[in-house]
Structure 1
Amino acid sequence: MWLRASLVVLIISSFSSFADEVHVAGAYSTDQLRGVRAGYRITNLPIEMPTWLGSPDVHLEVALNHWQNSDNTADNITAFTISPVFSWQIAGTQRPLYVEAGIGGSYFDKTQIANRRLSTQFQFEDRVSLSWQYSQSSEARVALGYTHYSNADIKRPNDGLDFLWMSWVLPF
């Protein structure tokens, strides 16, 4: 699993001219699923949000996720995701803290892992996180978040997946 994530990061970093940030995350679910996420974020989108939304920055994030059943490592699932992410700076100037949220789409290679039945390979990805720039001398950040995958009852059963995750973000 870590070998796959390392390979994805290596591939993504070789295309760094397309990305403004690269991230690597570890994830865990109370359904005994664990996994990794590697991806990149384009931050320089020419989109201005209305002031009534608090004028968040808008980013586009693309990632590859891979999870496995902790009780049966042969039971795994992979998803490609793409999502707009809205980011609000809520504190700090030299070491800022951000709240981030987004709803995007995911394509899963299978529709079941462990006891979770997803029914469709397309899933929505809903996410919220806190991201903190931990050093004044670097724009790198750590983030803690929650992500929910569901097909919004397009087809049943719609068990969905929920993950808590921690990531390291490295801007270029």
Structure 2
Amino acid sequence: MKLLLLLIVLIAQSTVSAHSLYYAIGESTAKDRSDTQKLGLIFNPPTNIGLLERNNLYLTLDVSAASWQNLYGPDLKTGALIPMFNYPLRQQDQWWFIKFGIGAAYVDQTRWGNRRLGSNWMFEDKLEVGLRANPNHQIALSFSHYSNANTNKYNDGLNIISLLYQYNW
């Protein structure tokens, strides 16, 4: 996990600077209800895509490292890179948002509990719904689905529901 955190810090210091840092705690929806933790950075790349701007969509890049509790062996370590669409909604003085995206994830083991993931490389589908309390703080409920999209004989996909706190600068 320390190596993945170092990687995130190095990416944050790169020429494309990060705009947010988030921490999420969650739980799998499988029978064993394993705990998860995730630390990530959000990058807002400069885009000039008229179609997105006209429809109030903003493109971000989510780079994260996570640890999944494994009740039957060593915990799993993961890393993910997900292009996300952010759709902000204003209601009176509050900003709500919906984020969604699909990206690539690497999992250091191919078994999680009794689940056969089939591959170290997975797709991560992510959906977040949250509230931006002020320009620097936001909270969200996050749903992530991991699967290898049947590119392997085994594909016991998994779902994780998380509570996420994000700090923006």
> TM-score band (shorter)?
0.7 to 0.9
Find the residue that maps to 2:75 and give its secondary structure: strand
Q: Which amino acid in structure 1 is aligned with residue 63 of structure 2? A: V
CA RMSD, Structure 1 to Structure 2 (Å) = 2.6
Q: Does 1:65 align with 2:66?
A: yes
Q: Does 1:56 align with 2:53?
A: no
1:165 to 140, 154, 162: 162
Does the 8 Å CA contact 2:56/2:88 hold for their aligned counterparts? no
Moved more, 24-33 or 11-20: 11-20
For 2:22, the equivalent position in structure 1 comes to: 23
For 2:152, the equivalent position in structure 1 comes to: 155
The whole-number CA distance in structure 1 between the counterparts of 2:11 and 2:167 is: 14
* Structure-2 change in CA distance of 1:12 and 1:158 (3 Å): same
Q: What is the TM-score with the length of structure 2 in the denominator?
A: 0.85
* Structure-2 change in CA distance of 1:93 and 1:149 (3 Å): same
Unmatched 5+ stretches in structure 1: none
The Cα shift of 1:48 comes to 1.9
Q: Which amino acid in structure 1 is aligned with residue 26 of structure 2? A: A
Equivalent residues in 2 for 1:80-159 (5 A)?
A: 80-92=79-91, 94-135=93-134, 138-159=135-156
Percent pairwise identity: 24
Q: What is the TM-score with the length of structure 1 in the denominator?
A: 0.84
The Cα shift of 1:29 comes to 1.0
Unmatched 5+ stretches in structure 2: none
